[in-house]
Structure 1
Amino acid sequence: MLSPFLAFLLTVAILCRIAVSQYSSDQCSWRGSGLTHEGHARDVEQVYLRCSQGVLEWLYPTGAIIVNLRPNTESAVAASRLSVCIKPSSESSGTNLYLDKAGKLRLLVRDEEQAAARVHCFGIQQGALFVEAVLHQDISRRITAFQYELVPDLPGSNSLSAPCQPCTDAEVLLAVCTSDFVAEGSIVGVQEEVEEERSSVTVSLTRLHRQKTRVFVSGGGRAKRWTGRVKMPRQCGVKPGEAQGEGEFLFTGAVRFGEAWLGCAPRYKDFLRAYKKAEILGTNPCHVDTD
């Protein structure tokens, strides 16, 4: 016969196992069902993910879930400099997405906006992701699904707080060291992507210092050049034709869901001036080959 203490531990273990079995999850992705909330529509479930990227899928959403996203790192300083980017599936529906900061909610994406599959980013310190089910008569076809990525909070990268802000010299030099891509080149075209509320900038590169993934491709030939597209919010004001033929730029930025997003992009001569000055003062955060 089990002692009262052992019986208590066994009961707790069984209950914990039942709670875990209701949802399938790992450190990177989560898949759950709102049917476990049946009869408890006001339930709020906590979800913890510890990866740089992954997928969340919530079938038949009822109640709400709070998604806590953190990198798999022990450095609190490094974590505080990250942004979270989410991209809903084009078939995602059934919930509104909020940012939850100390119990205060700020709307991020409405239910009807998720089908546009746009990328939404926010600083990791702005709060957890609060996913609240919208009441529907029929939830059988409602599935909320999105990809997420944790990306460095790069200087000049577009965010909800301050998109399109000019970069200081210090921010430019830091962006060169921390960006997913760094390249020299010129703008050859700008295309407005109205439905996505962004601009797609076609660039021709004379020098590719670094790229995290293959977002720029070589055109071959003796005079080796690379081409590709970088994205930016429409409110940044880059118009077709206006930015073409204006000389060389230094392009930096982040890669999000396989697309290059522009961060700091000074004229190359301005970057070179700032770099040479910092080199004399010994304040450059990293070395760049400018020869």
Structure 2
Amino acid sequence: MLPPMLLSLLPLLCLCRISFCQYSSDQCSWKGSGLTHEGHARDVEQVYLRCSQGSLEWLYPTGAIIVNLRPNTVSPAVAKLSVCIKPTTESSGTNIYLDRMGKLRLLLHEEDQAQGKVLCFGIQEGALFIEAVPHMDISRRITAFQYELVSDRLGADKRLTGGPCQPCSDSEMLLAVCTNDFVARGIIRKVEQEEEYSSVTVEISRLYRQKTQVFASGGVRVRTWTGKIKMPHQCRVKAGEGDFLFTGTVRFGEAWMGCAPRYKDFLRLYNEAQHQQTNPCQVDTD
């Protein structure tokens, strides 16, 4: 008879048959090898990753695997989540499909993965069906990508590089300050047009929060920070247009713009909500 603690882990242990899985509260990664089931190339392996972010690495792919990406919490908000994946530039050996009720839709061709571009889709659109492409020599084939589950204004049917530029509503703006990956007050120093997005260089005078170090400190004696925030081309932002409150998300170590009101407009809205006691959180505006 197994101890109760071990019995509770059996559902997770049974999902890691190919090689090994790593589980934690906020990240889940899977690494496997097609060589371990080469004699059963027609089998389709099920992989379950119940985390907000992580990675997958499939060495010497043969046959196919189905990757089910889900958060580790149960909530009605799950239906509104998007999944974003970013293949490594060395990723090859497979085609990646979306599998919804047995119907496949091509998401990434083998040749497309080497571009390393971020691709997003709604969590309700299906699981990832990763099918090995037949090659005479599979010794150099590795399919690998990072993934993140996201919930933001870009929506389930938008690419990270092509979200809308509509102004945030008052409620969206106040909620963004409480929930986004970064919140900072500052100015726009420079805007550079890259191939698929605009890269906005900002100088931060007040850093309220940052999930990761996307803004670098100017030093102990200089209380300013600098960094770059990405946004779609069509937003047409310009440098030197005043003081803003920048909010947004961090995707694969890069900052993406969310709500970015002028600071004076945010301050007016925040003070009105404070008076009405409708603010979702408190912010030090002194």
- Superposition TM-score, scaled by structure 2 size: 0.81
**1:219-267 CA distance string (max 9 Å, x none):** 2476622111112244x343xxx61111122111111222212112222
Aligned equivalent of 1:267, options 249, 262, 265: 262
**1:123-174 CA distance string (max 9 Å, x none):** 33332222222233433321101122334x1235796267124222221111
Contact 2:82-2:156 within 8 A present in 1 as well? no
Contact 1:157-1:261 within 8 A present in 2 as well? no
Counterpart secondary structure, 1:26 = strand
| Equivalence for 1:55 | 55
Give the Cα–Cα distance (whole angstroms) in 1 for the partners of residues 276 and 15 of structure 2: 59
Number of matched residues? 267
**1:75-102 CA distance string (max 9 Å, x none):** 3235445432222111001122223333
How is 1:130-279 mapped onto 2 (pairs within 5 angstroms)?
Answer: 130-151=129-150, 153-155=151-153, 160=158, 163-166=163-166, 167-194=168-195, 197-220=196-219, 224-234=223-233, 236-238=234-236, 243-279=238-274
Cα–Cα, structure 1 residues 229 and 145, in superposed 2: closer, same or farther, change >3 Å?
same
Cα–Cα, structure 1 residues 226 and 49, in superposed 2: closer, same or farther, change >3 Å?
same
Amino acid at match of 1:100: D
In the alignment, structure 2 segments of 5+ residues that lack a partner are: 1-12
| Equivalence for 2:31 | 31
Give the Cα–Cα distance (whole angstroms) in 2 for the partners of residues 77 and 277 of structure 1: 30
Give the Cα–Cα distance (whole angstroms) in 2 for the partners of residues 273 and 218 of structure 1: 28
Question: Which protein is bigger by CA-based radius of gyration?
Answer: 1
RMSD value over aligned CA atoms? 2.8
Contact 1:158-1:233 within 8 A present in 2 as well? no
| Equivalence for 2:9 | none
Cα–Cα, structure 1 residues 186 and 145, in superposed 2: closer, same or farther, change >3 Å?
same
In the alignment, structure 1 segments of 5+ residues that lack a partner are: 1-16
| Equivalence for 1:66 | 66
Give the Cα–Cα distance (whole angstroms) in 2 for the partners of residues 165 and 130 of structure 1: 32
Give the Cα–Cα distance (whole angstroms) in 1 for the partners of residues 246 and 94 of structure 2: 37
Counterpart secondary structure, 1:172 = helix
TM-superposed deviation, 1:280: 3.5
Using the TM superposition, name which of 279-288 and 168-177 deviates more: 279-288
Are 2:247 and 1:285 equivalent residues in the alignment?
Answer: no
Give the Cα–Cα distance (whole angstroms) in 2 for the partners of residues 289 and 72 of structure 1: 32
Give the Cα–Cα distance (whole angstroms) in 1 for the partners of residues 53 and 257 of structure 2: 20
TM-superposed deviation, 1:202: 0.5
State percent identity of aligned pairs.
66
TM-superposed deviation, 1:58: 1.0
Contact 1:157-1:263 within 8 A present in 2 as well? no
Give the Cα–Cα distance (whole angstroms) in 1 for the partners of residues 203 and 128 of structure 2: 38
Amino acid at match of 1:258: G
